[in-house]
Amino acid sequence: MPETKKRIVLVTGGAGFIGSHLAEKLLEKGEEVFVIDDLSTGSLENIKHLQDNQNFHFTKGSVLDEKLVSETISKIDEIYHLAAAVGVKTVMEKPLDSLLNNLLGAEIIFKIAVRQRTPVLLASTSEVYGKNGNIPFQEDSDRIYGSAYHARWGYGMSKGVDEFLALAYFKEKNLPVIIARLFNVVGPRQSGSYGMVVPRFIKQALNNEPVEVYGDGEQTRAFGYVGSVVNALIELVGNQEKSYGQIFNVGSDEKISIKDLAQKIIDLTKSRSKIKFIPYTQVYGENFEDMRDRQPDLSKIKKAINYQPIPLIESLQKTIEYFRSH
């Protein structure tokens, strides 16, 4: 059997929660992995266990550093562009950073990647669907956003522009691009510091503190496990021409209300915690709007790569086990 050529891969935002799992999985597959991360929301702790691997290369830097990105991409076979703002809290408190990282970062990646037609997977977000209430969301569903006075919508709109930019590069410049819309990914190493609900609930439950639910708790989400998600991203890139120029929802289609999620985590951790409801305004200030429901239609990705997300209960158990041991 002929040996498979080792791929050289760039993961932007590779010291973040999802990025670190992706880098880890790529290394397990025998790839050489370069990571660029400015550590604004990522952490060296996330990639500490990878540092001794001779195929792993980390550079602290920003995707807005065009010289750094250009020098790195010159030796790269594939790019996973994950670098972006993380969490509702970050988007609300630092809207300018969020917009610039999303818009300028993607433009720099595409502009440099097109020189050698290096394939790019753009990690997008379920936030692009905005306030559309017709769930489950399909990849061609409409986007409905709120007022520009509501900073929450800036993140989804900027990632939406990134998608238009990616498809324009595909159409006009023949750049191989794939768009993966990620839906509420959870798992080990996720931080609750930026508004991520599952790690926050788990930590509160393990400490027998009140589990704080923002709003009335009736809003619904679908939580995908990070291990399944990064495997899907790698398979989509491996699909090559079948994936190029396409958008895929990635996550889980098993939805749950946030109130029920809190109770499930309390039960799984055998916690003495009680649920405490907190108004959105108390957490994010005035002019905050939230998506009421968020659930993907996964028909397209299941057909493309035979993707099967693991059940929510298993995702939560794996994540709780991690937080117990840390």
The residues annotated with a catalytic role in the active site are 155
How far apart CA 79 and CA 13 sit, in angstroms, is 11
Which residues is 214 bridged to in the sheet?
A: 278
Q: Is the peptide bond before 210 cis (omega within 30 degrees of 0)?
A: no
User: Is the Cα dihedral 232, 218, 187, 73 positive or negative?
Assistant: positive
User: In degrees rounded to 5, what are phi and psi of residue 130?
Assistant: 60, -135
How far is 45 from 26, CA to CA, in rounded Å?
Answer: 18
**Burial group, residue 303, by CB count within 10 angstroms (0-12, 13-18, 19+):** exposed
- Supply angle C-alpha 129, 22, 225, rounded to 5: 55
Q: Where are the alpha helices (DSSP H) in the chain?
A: 17-28, 44-47, 66-73, 87-93, 95-113, 152-173, 197-206, 226-238, 258-269, 280-284, 299-305, 312-325
Q: What token pair was written down for 257?
A: 């209300």
Question: Coil, strand or helix: which one is 247?
Answer: strand
Identify the sign of the CA torsion 3, 24, 250, 145: negative
